Amino acid sequence: MFEFMSDLDSLIEEKTGLSLKEAMSIDEVNLYTRLGEETFWNLSKCFYSKVYSDEEEKWFKNIFKNKPMDEAIQNQVEFFMQRMGGPAYYSRRKGHPALIGRHMNFNMAEKAAERWLYHMRNALEEVKEIDEDSKIRMMKYFTHTAYFLSYGVSMKKN
Ligand code: HEM
Q: How far is the CA of 74 from the centre of ligand 1 (A)?
A: 11
Taking only the tens place, the pLDDT of each residue in 82-96 is: 999 999 999 999 999
For the chain, the farthest-separated pair of C-alpha atoms sits apart, in whole angstroms, at 42
- 148 contacts: CB under 8 Å, gap ≥ 6: 8, 12, 99, 100
pLDDT reported for residue 2: 53
Over range 151-158, report the average pLDDT.
90
Q: How far is the CA of 105 from the centre of ligand 1 (A)?
A: 11
Domain 2-157 maps to which CATH number in 3.30.360.10, 1.10.490.10, 1.10.220.150, 3.30.1050.10?
A: 1.10.490.10
Q: Does residue 53 surpass a pLDDT of 70?
A: yes
Taking only the tens place, the pLDDT of each residue in 68-121 is: 999 999 999 999 999 999 999 999 999 999 999 999 999 999 999 999 999 999
pLDDT reported for residue 1: 53
Q: Which of 48, 71, 73, 116 to mutate to test the pocket of ligand 1 (most atoms within 8 A of CB)?
A: 116
Q: Which residues line the pocket of ligand 1, CB cutoff 6 A?
A: 63-64, 67, 71-72, 75-76, 79, 94, 97, 99, 102-103, 106, 108, 112-113, 116, 142, 145-146, 149-150
Distance, in Å, from the CA atom of 105 to the CA atom of 39, rounded to the nearest integer, reads 30
